[in-house]
Structure 1
């Protein structure tokens, strides 16, 4: 497997890790929070530099549901990240000596709102690329043939993650955070730090699973109808992943 491609995956995983780290503001403190955010944005710039050909190919995007949905998700993610970036600059303590006093309560709310939407959209983004990630894992572990037991175990794990993710949405009050509702519920980092990150990761896992299996369900329905809109490539990917678990 191409080492450059693997290096890019590791950098993307680090970027996702820094995003999760940024949610633990009340545990990390402002300095580490801003350092982690700065590193995350730099890695995002690198990610887009590596994928500059994709941006150049947008005018040639196929007009089929999966490609159009992926395009919409990417632009939604871009919008959320830009909102996160702009608000982070405006409310930054490190930059406050050089900027007018714009960092009010509303901007901090918008910053938090954008951060949680970035988490959700990143999870959808990864869910769309789950077949590719499964292919990478299969190559790394030398898996060549289908295995019914392995597929059953992986699906049981996926079900467990989804159930935990649904519970985590309630525990962290995700619905209120995504609608910028006022709440006094804050995670107590003095009781558990790891628990917070587990809940965040479980929420991301739930959204990835819904995205992946939702897309596969659509593929199968369109295939049974003989609908050419989705494209045979998307259907083939879903079938291969289903066969190999």
Structure 2
């Protein structure tokens, strides 16, 4: 497999893991949260550096539905990550305690709300690149042929993940977390394992959704050419 692709996959996987850890603020505590956030910021810079050609190509070529969706999601994700990083500075109490501003509550509200949006946008971003990811993983593992049984099994697992993800989204009140800031927290005092499983399932909703929406768009495009 191409070395650059392997590096990108490693960076993206690490970013995903760190994002999940950063979301678990009530479990990790503030110091770990800030350290993880700092490494996440550095990897975010590395991710964009590795994909700098994508930015140069935005104004080039033809636009179709797939490309418009991809550019929109990617730019929103970049904007949300930048907002998270900027808003983290005024509320830092361990790494950057010397940065002090008024109205810290406003910055904290922006930071928390944007974090949940970035979490979901990251999942959509992954979903839109899912075919590329699966192809790369397949080459790494030596699986290059298709299998009907494997495809059916994976789709069944995806459906189960989405079903559980929808359920846990309601239980964790994700709709409120995306629109309302609660300074007292949302009471997500559960085990690390439960937190991880629940949030991976929530990610699964948007990864699957983005992947199959793009497949639908591509099929419609092929059908229109016939």
**Bucket of the pairwise TM-score, normalised by the shorter protein:** over 0.9
1:96 offset after TM fit, Å? 5.6
Distance 1:148 1:225, change over 3 A: same
Distance 1:73 1:61, change over 3 A: farther
1:197 offset after TM fit, Å? 1.3
Mapped partners of 2:142, 2:134: distance in 1:
12
Contact 1:61 1:67 in 2 (8 A): no
Give 1:187's aligned residue: 188
RMSD of aligned alpha carbons: 1.8
Give 1:101's aligned residue: 101
Mapped partners of 2:38, 2:47: distance in 1:
14
- Report how many aligned residue pairs link the two structures: 225
Mapped partners of 1:221, 1:136: distance in 2:
26
1:61 offset after TM fit, Å? 4.2
Mapped partners of 1:84, 1:185: distance in 2:
19
Give 1:12's aligned residue: 12
Give 2:21's aligned residue: 21
Contact 1:110 1:180 in 2 (8 A): no
Q: Does residue 218 of the first structure (1) align with residue 214 of the second (2)?
A: no
Give 1:113's aligned residue: 113
The unaligned stretches of length 5 or more in structure 1 are 228-245
1:48 offset after TM fit, Å? 0.9
1:143 offset after TM fit, Å? 1.9
Give 1:145's aligned residue: 145
Contact 2:113 2:181 in 1 (8 A): no
Contact 1:92 1:103 in 2 (8 A): no
Q: What per-residue deviation string (whole Å, max 9, x for no partner) do you get for residues 179-199 of structure 1?
A: 12548631113xx12101111
Q: What per-residue deviation string (whole Å, max 9, x for no partner) do you get for residues 192-243 of structure 1?
A: 121011111111111010111112122223322338xxxxxxxxxxxxxxxx
Give 1:199's aligned residue: 198
Q: What per-residue deviation string (whole Å, max 9, x for no partner) do you get for residues 51-86 of structure 1?
A: 111111111142111111111111101111111011
Give 1:233's aligned residue: none
Give me the TM-score of the superposition, normalised by structure 2. Answer: 0.93
Give 2:166's aligned residue: 166
Q: Secondary structure at the match of 2:143?
A: coil
